[in-house]
Amino acid sequence: QVQLVQSGSELKKPGASVKVSCKGSGYTFISYVMNWVRQAPGQGLEWMGCINPYTGNPTYAQGFTGRFVFSLDTSVSTAYLHISSLEAEDTAVYYCARQFCSGTTCYEHAFDIWGQGTVVAVSS
Amino acid sequence: QSALTQPPSASGSPGQSVTISCTGTSSDVGGYNYVSWYQQHPGKAPKLMIYEVSKRPSGVPDRFSGSKSGNTASLTVSGLQAEDEADYYCNSYTGSDNVVFGGGTKLTVL
């Protein structure tokens, strides 16, 4: 079945970096834009940006430039989120989410398949 | 880009209908027919319920419906059931490949 499987929870110290992986299966990986969404503890969803697996072109939302980098390894159908210089405020669940397509139409605002989420905790 | 505005909470009794609003601006909700809604149960990943303002993906019950007027989109849940109790989030396309979410609404089934 179509699914996204993310890497496990991470506990990091401030200033460190982390790389979260998101492996797609059951579909043609390069055909669907991959999004990243953050959810801080007890808070709402925040769109971080997306990356087009076909072109490799990333788009970053305001507030997620500089320390946040999206990358891909299409040979293993995997997207990555790299966060550097971690701060306590980066503590959150990070989700990858696939763009929804119906027939030949894809919708940039709609995400139909989500990973299970990766908890990143930043604490000294 | 500011988050879309949703009421923090909503409630209804089983069988009733409840509507959740999502207010943006002419640069997002009002400017595009690209609003979607997500249901999130505690500890779970969100689930797509509505896309393109009013369309339901396969498998979503027709008790869930969406609409839009001006800068405000709405999600209506009819025939409330206990399993509808969850957090609901809207989002909207904002142009230039960008998306913004609402702050979320906690729906309680009384």
CB contact under 8 A, A44 and B98: no
Shortest distance between the Cα of B100 and any Cα of chain A, in A, equals 6
Are B105 and B9 in contact by the 8 Å Cβ rule? The answer is: yes
Q: What is the pLDDT of residue B97?
A: 85
Distance of alpha carbon B52 from alpha carbon B92, whole angstroms: 9
Shortest distance between the Cα of B101 and any Cα of chain A, in A, equals 6
- Beta pairing class for B105-109 and B9-12: parallel
In chain B, which ranges are E strands? Answer: 9-12, 18-23, 35-40, 47-50, 64-69, 72-77, 86-95, 98-101, 105-109
**Per-residue tokens: B70:** 């001006």
Give chain B's contact residues with A (Cβ, < 8 Å): 1, 3, 32, 34-36, 38, 40, 45-48, 51-52, 57, 89, 91-93, 96-104
**Distances B102 to A24, A123, B1, B88 between C-alpha atoms, Å:** 27, 28, 11, 9
> Can you tell me which residue has the tokens 């943006």?
B24
Distance of alpha carbon A97 from alpha carbon B32, whole angstroms: 21
Rounded to 5 degrees, φ, ψ at B82 are -55, -35
Are B10 and B106 in contact by the 8 Å Cβ rule? The answer is: yes
DSSP three-state, residue A31: helix
CB contact under 8 A, B36 and A45: no
Q: What is the pLDDT of residue A108?
A: 87
How many interface pairs between A and B have CB atoms less than 8 angstroms apart? 73
pLDDT tens sequence for chain B (110 residues)? 689 999 999 999 999 999 999 999 999 999 999 999 999 999 999 999 999 999 999 999 999 999 999 999 999 999 999 999 999 999 999 988 899 999 999 999 99
Chain A residues within an 8 Å CB radius of B103: 44
A29-77 pLDDT, tens digit per residue, is 999 999 999 999 999 999 999 999 999 999 999 999 999 999 999 999 9
In 3D, which of A68, A48, A67, A49 has the Cα closest to residue A58? A49
- Beta carbons within 8 Å of A74's beta carbon, 6+ residues apart: A29, A30, A53
- Beta carbons within 8 Å of A32's beta carbon, 6+ residues apart: A24, A53, A98, A99, A101, A106
Chain A residues within an 8 Å CB radius of B3: 44, 46
Q: What is the pLDDT of residue B60?
A: 97
Shortest distance between the Cα of A17 and any Cα of chain B, in A, equals 24
